[in-house]
Amino acid sequence: MNAPDLSLLPDMRRDDAGPVFAEPWQAQAFALAVRLSENGHFTWPEWADYLAHEIAAARRAGTLDLGDTYYEHWLRALERIVTDKQILTTRALEERKRCWDEAARHTEHGKPIELADNQ
Amino acid sequence: MSKHHHNAPLPDTVLRVKALESLLIEKGLVDPEALDELIDTYETKVGPRNGAAVVARAWCDDNYKQRLLTDASAAIGELGFSGRQGEDMVVLENTPDVHNMVVCTLCSCYPWPVLGLPPVWYKSAPYRARAVIEPRAVLAEFGVTLDDDVEIRVWDSTAEIRYLVLPMRPTGSDDLDEHALSGLVTRDSMIGVGLPQAPVQQNR
């Protein structure tokens, strides 16, 4: 374990109860993992292992990890567990991500973003 | 100005979550209404007020307190709060000699049913590391100074066991009822990095 970095002190300050999720995607990623576990696709201890792995990897990569990147770790853990468990393939995720990107770029501002066809 | 104002590209994280969500819904593995209900629960219904109700009950009812200390999951369930992940709850009683403090060093396991989702600092690397190494210094940063002879016990949560600190009832709160007492219980006091608020002195 690294020695405590005292320069980080100001960043550990207490927060007043702000919003639970900073952005909607965090709430969606949160809910997907909880529901998949509740539906029996993985146990919660399995999930905690995946999440802890991502957090440790981020620390090894030298990020400060001040709590604001928590849902980025969460999202990577979710992608890894669904592909490891063969619930979804990496390829399907990448293709679908491209579709959403295309759809967003071609949607007029203010209109809901929708995929052209069922994939 | 062009006629069509297209959206700016969506951020990578948003696209990745949309990809996951849309594929999982299409496969029938998650139900969109259940996702919305879950998000609403954690945004608006579950939070530290639940834990405050548990603490205030324990302060007022010694039998309840004993049940809480022996089988916390069941005692918390009596008030209608229960976990979703099958985790076991353990309640840690603060005394004049022992102060308890909770951390999750590996991820951010937290007693969701009684405290809601964790604050940002609880999920930060400095807290995860320093709570264990130098709890007294961390407490000081939260504004809590304990006598040197008070033992500090730091508890590391896991996916299976979640801890809730039962803080000491504030002095001068003897006249308060359970509801008023619950108003003194802060989130931080139930994580062990704070103390309950002192009761407001009534002018007589």
Topology annotation, domain B47-191: Nitrile Hydratase; Chain A (3.90.330)
> What pLDDT shows up at residue A68?
85
- Residues of chain A positioned with their CB less than 8 A from the CB of B138: 12
Task: For residues B174 and B156, give the distance between their C-alpha atoms in angstroms, rounded to a whole number.
Answer: 33
Task: For residues B85 and B176, give the distance between their C-alpha atoms in angstroms, rounded to a whole number.
Answer: 35
Task: Lowest mean pLDDT of A16-30, B6-20, B115-129, B181-195, name the range.
Answer: A16-30
Q: Do A35 and B129 touch (CB under 8 A)?
A: no
B99-133 per-position pLDDT tens digit: 999 999 988 889 988 998 888 899 998 999 999 99
Indicate which of A43, A47, A96 best probes the interface with B, i.e. most B CBs within 10 Å of its own CB: A96
Task: For residues B7 and A104, give the distance between their C-alpha atoms in angstroms, rounded to a whole number.
Answer: 6
Res A57 pLDDT > 90: yes
Q: Which residue has the tokens 């834990």?
A: B51
Taken in order of first residue, the domains within chain A and their CATH numbers are 22-105 (1.10.472.20)
User: Which DSSP string corresponds to A28-51?
Assistant: HHHHHHHHHHHTTSS-HHHHHHHH
> What pLDDT shows up at residue B4?
58
B62-87 per-position pLDDT tens digit: 999 999 999 999 999 999 998 777 67
Mean pLDDT of B84-105: 91
ipTM of the complex: 0.83
Q: Report the SS3 class of residue B112.
A: helix
**Looking at the partner chain, which of B6, B18, B188 has a beta carbon nearest the beta carbon of A105?**
B6
A53–B contact, CB cutoff 8 A:
no
Grade residue B6 by pLDDT with cuts at 50, 70 and 90.
Answer: low
The answer to whether the CB of B126 falls within 8 A of the CB of A1 is no
Q: Do A44 and B14 touch (CB under 8 A)?
A: no
- Residues of chain B positioned with their CB less than 8 A from the CB of A97: 15-16, 18-19
